[in-house]
Amino acid sequence: MKAIIPLFFVLATGCTSLGHEGRSTPQTSRELSEIPKEFTLIGSGPLSTAIENLLVARGINVNPPARQHIRGEPRYIIYVNSTELDICIPEGSRQMHFGILVQEAESTELFFASKGQFGCMDTIVKAFENWLF
């Protein structure tokens, strides 16, 4: 009986992410010819920070939107938005409504698009990481 009460409390106070991994599956995912050495990141919030931390940890420069780039080199822009909700169970990261777009700045060619409702942040970041690397 004691084990049932904590389980009920967790389910009543948080939302579950069981069976919802598909919510972070990209709608568009095209391979880049090579991994860029830098990205321009436009966004804010924890998902944007997690994407930036991932890129920096992999040795990729993350630039603010106003930075000039060298002509002739493709410039990739990542747009990230998210609205935090509850905690994902059993993952433990934040559950959120989210959107991530990656496009080449000059041609506006879309390489990655993922958006959804009730996605788990760690799963979303992992899907992005799997696409890029």
Model's pTM, two decimal places? Answer: 0.77
* Average pLDDT, rounded, for the chain: 81
Find all residues with CB under 8 Å of 24, minimum gap 6, and list them: 98, 114, 116, 119, 120, 123, 124, 126, 127
pLDDT of residue 74: 76
Task: Give mean pLDDT, residues 89-95.
Answer: 84
Convert the pLDDT of each residue in 37-58 to its tens digit. Answer: 999 999 988 999 999 999 999 9
Percent of the chain with pLDDT over 90: 49
Lowest-pLDDT choice from 35-44, 69-78, 83-92, 103-112: 69-78
